[in-house]
């Protein structure tokens, strides 16, 4: 479920998404039908190998699960980190620019819906991205603010090129492997106990909650409380930081 366009609940600027008109890849075996949008699209082998989750409370108490089940990785991330994974380089033309800071970025490309997660691949293949959204109001209380940080550290390894053969006989070229630690950090600031208590109650019973409250209740507590166990629901009002890291190789 997607939240309504309520600025109190939406945080932008971290996972960068743009609509690029390309064909549906189906089994990921076709090339884009709008090559003018890209200077290149390459495929790399990669799989999630480790998933870690973390919580910090308002008294700086910390809890980490270094072996969170891979099945708990957010689908919104795995939609763009398929195996093989697509890395696209958009052409710098109006309407298809994607920036991280002052630099036009590459993107981890999802051919199913033409969305991108921005990244920057250096000429030597290394990836080192750290970006942060401004603190913005979270919920109905102006005193509660939240920001989102994204970190990417890794590299493209082109020493093992190869190919993949699909069920229809199509052969796709594999440029190598992606090794990457992908981290998302959500930080709360100010008086957030009220809205966090409301969301915890929505997660527990779901009665009388708006669509955006239900969305955020599942975003915050589905992963960190139910699936990874790093957060106790009785501590929901005391959340300061929620984070996860996925290791791909």
59-70 confidence digits (pLDDT tens): 999 999 999 999
Mean pLDDT, rounded, of the chain: 83
> What is d(CA 93, CA 83) in angstroms, rounded to the nearest whole number?
29
Query: 131 and 181 in contact (C-beta within 8 Å)?
Result: no
Query: 156 and 121 in contact (C-beta within 8 Å)?
Result: yes
Query: 133 and 14 in contact (C-beta within 8 Å)?
Result: yes
Query: 189 and 146 in contact (C-beta within 8 Å)?
Result: yes
Mean pLDDT over 28-36 rounds to 40
Query: 235 and 59 in contact (C-beta within 8 Å)?
Result: no
> What is d(CA 50, CA 46) in angstroms, rounded to the nearest whole number?
12
How crowded is the C-beta side of 236, counted as CA atoms within 13 Å?
Answer: 24
pLDDT at 85: 94
Over 60: is that where the pLDDT of 21 sits?
A: no
Over 60: is that where the pLDDT of 246 sits?
A: yes
Over 80: is that where the pLDDT of 242 sits?
A: yes
pLDDT bin (cut points 50, 70, 90) of residue 3 is very low
> What is d(CA 75, CA 185) in angstroms, rounded to the nearest whole number?
17
| DSSP strand pairing (171-190 vs 144-157) | antiparallel
> What is d(CA 87, CA 42) in angstroms, rounded to the nearest whole number?
5
Angle at 112 between CA 185 and CA 89, to 5 degrees: 70
Strand partners of residue 225: none
Over 50: is that where the pLDDT of 14 sits?
A: no
Q: In this structure, what token pair is assigned to residue 93?
A: 């033309």
Length of the chain: 249
Over 80: is that where the pLDDT of 33 sits?
A: no
Write the Ramachandran bin of 112: left for phi over 0, alpha for psi from -120 to 50, otherwise beta. Answer: alpha
């Amino acid at each position: 479920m997607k939240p309504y366009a309520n600025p109190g609940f939406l945080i932008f600027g971290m996972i960068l998404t743009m609509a690029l008109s390309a064909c549906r890849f189906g089994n990921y075996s076709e090339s884009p039908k709008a090559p003018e949008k890209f200077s290149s699209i390459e495929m790399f082998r990669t799989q999630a190998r480790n998933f870690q989750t973390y919580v910090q409370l308002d008294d700086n108490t910390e809890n980490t699960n270094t072996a969170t089940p891979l099945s708990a990785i957010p689908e919104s991330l795995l939609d763009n980190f398929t195996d093989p994974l697509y890395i696209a380089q958009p052409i710098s033309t109006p309407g298809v620019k994607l920036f991280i800071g002052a630099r036009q970025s590459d993107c981890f490309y999802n051919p199913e819906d033409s969305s991108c997660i921005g990244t920057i691949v250096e000429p030597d293949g290394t990836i080192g991205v750290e970006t942060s959204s401004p603190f913005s109001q979270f919920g109905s209380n102006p005193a509660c603010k939240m920001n989102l940080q994204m970190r990417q550290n890794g590299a493209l390894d082109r020493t093992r090129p190869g190919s993949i053969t699909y069920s229809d006989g199509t052969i796709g070229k594999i440029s190598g492997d992606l090794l990457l630690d992908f981290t998302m950090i959500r930080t709360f600031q100010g008086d957030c106990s009220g809205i966090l208590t409301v969301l915890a109650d929505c997660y527990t019973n779901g009665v009388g909650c708006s669509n955006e409250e239900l969305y955020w209740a599942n975003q915050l507590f589905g992963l960190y409380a139910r699936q990874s166990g790093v957060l106790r629901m009785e501590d929901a009002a005391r959340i300061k930081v929620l984070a996860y890291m996925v290791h791909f190789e």
